[in-house]
Amino acid sequence: MPDPSGSTPDMLGRPVPLTVRLPDGRRLGLTRYGDPSHPVAVFHHGFGSSSLELPPAPVLLASLGLQVLALDRPGVGQSDVYRRHTFATFAAETVAVLDALGIAGPVGVLGWSVGGVHAQALAALYPARVAAVHLLSTCLPLGEPACYQHLSPTWKFLRWGQLGFPWLNRTTFLWLSRQWARHPDRTIAGFICLLRPAERRVTQEFRALLRDAARQGFAHAGRGVYDDAQAWCRPPGFRIEAIRAPTTLWHGAADGVWAPSNIPYLASRIVGARLHLLPGQGHMLYLENWAEILTQLRAEMPA
């Protein structure tokens, strides 16, 4: 398939960075994992992270005959800042990237954490382009009134703060951007100390991978993280019930970031959704179950 970035596959199976020009001239960065001739799964990264948060897993991808395209949202990594960023605009940008790469679809779709909401948006707004959806430790769209009623007091407070005091959040993300750029090892160590046991164990194991992903996530002075937070807190611009592709929700019973009690509610709004609630696992479960997740997704995709 054509590759407008001019990049070539890495013979050692390492991730390959790409850039694509969007129809409005902006640049969007992404990372390709696997052979570009194989069927495509699109991965949406978590909040404050980037396309580098995936284990390369070249042997696994080759055995499945699958490539993963992990897109960096606006203001992340090599992606240009876009102040009007929403779930709907990024879904359209994802389709534009697929078109630019000559991928007609349908594709597999994955999303971790807030990336799970972006995966929902893509499946709801462009159903013909999506073969199957896997939501990994997904969150709810904070700005949808029905979902808002299911939020914990903590998440309601965080949404109120993001919308009510945007200058404070912008300053916070700017400060974090500087910390990740100047002191990445110290910053990841600080975050690990704040995590609950299930998250701390996995984050420590994948420390370097998650550190580098966060450094890229907080590029552009943290502007992309701020805009992503604003988009998350506003009306989502899609209907969860519009998702028609086979959907699987993976969630840890010990998730200390997003309570598993919300997940059966989300699953009830997606026709035929399947729920895997994993005992003893936390918010980082995708790293522990990557082979099983990709194997199931590949079975649901066209040959």
User: What's the Rg (C-alpha) of the chain?
Assistant: 18
Burial label for 185, CB within 10 Å (0-12, 13-18, 19+), is exposed
Tell me: pLDDT of 219 over 90.
Answer: yes
- pLDDT band at residue 295 under the 50/70/90 scheme: very high
Q: What is the model's pLDDT at position 11?
A: 54
Tokens of 41: 């799964």
**Mean pLDDT, range 194-222, rounded to an integer:** 96
3-state DSSP assignment of residue 132: strand
- pLDDT band at residue 12 under the 50/70/90 scheme: low
Tell me: pLDDT of 269 over 90.
Answer: yes
Q: What is the model's pLDDT at position 1?
A: 36
Q: Where are the beta strands (DSSP E) in 59-118?
A: 67-71, 107-112
Tokens of 171: 């300053």
Q: What is the model's pLDDT at position 105?
A: 80
Domain boundaries defined on the chain: 16-299
Q: What is the tens place of the pLDDT at every residue in 157-197?
A: 999 999 999 999 999 999 999 999 999 999 999 999 999 99
Q: What is the model's pLDDT at position 166?
A: 94
Tell me: pLDDT of 45 over 70.
Answer: yes
Q: What is the model's pLDDT at position 5?
A: 47
* CA distances, 139 to each of 124, 151, 155 (Å): 16, 10, 11
- pLDDT band at residue 2 under the 50/70/90 scheme: very low
Mean pLDDT of the chain: 95
- pLDDT band at residue 10 under the 50/70/90 scheme: low
Contact call for residues 113 and 258 (beta carbons, < 8 A): yes
3-state DSSP assignment of residue 295: helix
| CATH number, domain 16-299 | 3.40.50.1820
**Mean pLDDT, range 217-241, rounded to an integer:** 97
Tokens of 294: 């990709």
d(CA 226, CA 217): 11
Q: What is the tens place of the pLDDT at every residue in 46-100?
A: 999 999 999 999 999 999 999 999 999 999 999 999 999 999 999 999 999 999 9
Contact call for residues 135 and 157 (beta carbons, < 8 A): no
Tell me: pLDDT of 264 over 50.
Answer: yes
d(CA 238, CA 77): 26
